[in-house]
């Protein structure tokens, strides 16, 4: 636990940067990429500019709250991992109490913001995602099971639902399909990163699958989830009445993703050497895959 007396003496800008870093902006960027395109799909037109702004701001604050609270509860393992050792709490950039109150305040503000400026269904979904990520994933699953990211990653799927309900104020099957796309995308995405940092997770005592299983086993699981993800992405065609553009992009992106997954599987069959396995290739493409797929879903209605 970092107390106020242990916090490094810093100027106002450094303190501000530390609190922003608690929100993990790079992760929020990816979440917004699965929110805004769904708003276009739900509207089948250009949604209200102010509705987009209100949803993006509320979603950013809600995701920032979850990430800040994650930093509080994971501070002990963050300082043991190279990838996370420069986060604000391990570096004593903020106090534990300050980070906790910051995360809780963001949760309250984001819920009220979304409820009053968007709708209460979207606000409830954002709050549910926050609670599930902090309690379900961070506090209960992460340190107990190699399948932690499979179920815990569901919290990152909620933006697809929030983007849809922000426009329609009701749930429907198309956002559920997109929710499932992100759900099945998460293990290949995160496990490829986990392979790169498997030693970090081992040192921290976190049973992430790549830290407790062979690269061959992990890559085989990645291939399975990749197939299910691609099949789910194609289910949006009949469910949402998508046209040729989305369907073609989904097929093309799916083929490339599967090729990358099988290439990873081939490289990981007989070795544990990261220089040979090159897991970050799939990780980087997975980001592009999700962004382009959701953009295609947003653009498709305009081409018809």
pLDDT digits (tens, 9 = 90+) for 143-171: 999 989 998 889 999 999 999 999 999 99
Q: How many domains does the chain have?
A: 2
pTM of the model: 0.94
Please give the pLDDT value at position 27.
Answer: 83
At residue 4, does pLDDT exceed 60? no
**Same structural domain, 192 and 278:** yes
User: What is the structure's pLDDT at 69?
Assistant: 96
Mean pLDDT lowest for which of 2-11, 22-31, 42-51, 77-86? 2-11
The pLDDT score that the predictor gives to residue 23 is 93
The CATH number linked to 63 is: 1.10.357.140
**% pLDDT > 90, the chain:** 78
- In a domain, residue 5? The reply is no
Examine the domain organization and report whether 25 and 159 are in the same domain: yes
What torsion do the CA atoms of 46, 290, 33, 122 make, to the nearest 10 degrees?
A: 80
Confidence (pLDDT) at 3? 59
Statement to judge: residues 201 and 263 lie in one domain: yes
Residue 1 forms part of a structural domain: no
37 and 86 in a single domain? The answer is yes
Same domain, 94 and 202: no
Query: What's the pLDDT score for residue 103?
Result: 97
Q: Does 161 map to a domain?
A: yes
Query: Which is higher by pLDDT, 29 or 42?
Result: 42
- With 70 as the cut, is the pLDDT of residue 5 above it? no
Residues 156 and 219 in one domain: no
pLDDT of 86 = 87
pLDDT at 104: 97
Among 140, 170, 200, give the residue marking a domain's end: 170
Mean pLDDT of 84-100: 90
Asked if 160 and 16 sit in the same domain, the reply is: yes
Shared domain check, 289 and 264:
yes
What b/e string do you get for 96-113 counting C-beta neighbours within 10 Å, with b at 16 or more?
bebbbebbeebbebbbeb
pLDDT at 2 over 70: no
pLDDT of residue 127 exceeding 90: yes
209 and 136: one domain?
no
Looking up residue 239, the CATH number of its domain turns out to be 1.20.120
Among 170, 185, 201, the domain boundary falls at 170
DSSP state of 15: H
Domain shared by 35 and 149, yes or no: yes
Kindly report, residue by residue over 179-231, the tens digit of the pLDDT.
Answer: 999 999 999 999 999 999 999 899 889 999 999 999 999 999 999 999 999 99
Give me the pLDDT at residue 184, please: 97
Q: Which domain holds residue 85?
A: 12-170
- Are 187 and 129 members of one domain? no
pLDDT at 253: 98
Domain-located, residue 185:
yes
Of 170, 198, 224, the one marking the end of a domain is: 170
């Amino acid at each position: 636990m970092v107390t106020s007396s242990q916090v490094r003496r810093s100027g106002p800008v450094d303190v501000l940067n530390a609190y922003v870093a608690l929100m993990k902006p790079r992760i929020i960027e990816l979440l917004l990429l699965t929110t805004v395109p769904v708003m276009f799909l739900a509207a089948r037109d250009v949604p209200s500019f102010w509705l987009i702004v209100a949803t993006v701001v509320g979603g950013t604050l809600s995701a920032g709250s979850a990430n800040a609270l994650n930093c509080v509860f994971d501070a002990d393992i963050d300082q043991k991992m190279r990838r996370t050792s420069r986060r604000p709490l391990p570096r004593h950039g903020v106090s534990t109490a300050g980070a906790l109150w910051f995360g809780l305040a963001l949760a309250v503000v984001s819920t009220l913001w979304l409820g009053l400026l968007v709708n209460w269904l979207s606000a409830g979904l954002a709050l549910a995602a926050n609670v599930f990520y902090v309690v379900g994933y961070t506090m209960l699953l992460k340190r107990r099971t190699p399948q932690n990211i499979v179920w815990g990653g569901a919290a990152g799927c909620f933006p697809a639902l929030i983007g849809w309900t922000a426009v329609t104020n009701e749930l429907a099957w198309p956002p559920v399909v997109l929710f499932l796309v992100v759900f099945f995308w998460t293990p290949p995405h995160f496990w490829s990163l986990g392979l790169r940092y498997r030693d970090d997770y081992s040192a921290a005592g976190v049973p992430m699958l790549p830290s407790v299983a062979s690269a061959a086993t992990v890559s085989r699981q990645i291939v399975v989830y990749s197939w299910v993800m691609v099949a789910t992405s194609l289910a949006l065609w009949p469910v949402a009445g998508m046209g040729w553009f989305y369907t073609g992009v989904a097929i093309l992106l799916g083929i490339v993703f599967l090729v990358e997954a099988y290439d990873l599987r081939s490289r990981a069959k007989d070795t544990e050497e990261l220089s040979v396995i090159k897991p970050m290739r799939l990780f980087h493409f997975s980001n592009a895959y999700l962004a382009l797929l959701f953009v295609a879903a947003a653009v498709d209605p305009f081409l018809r």
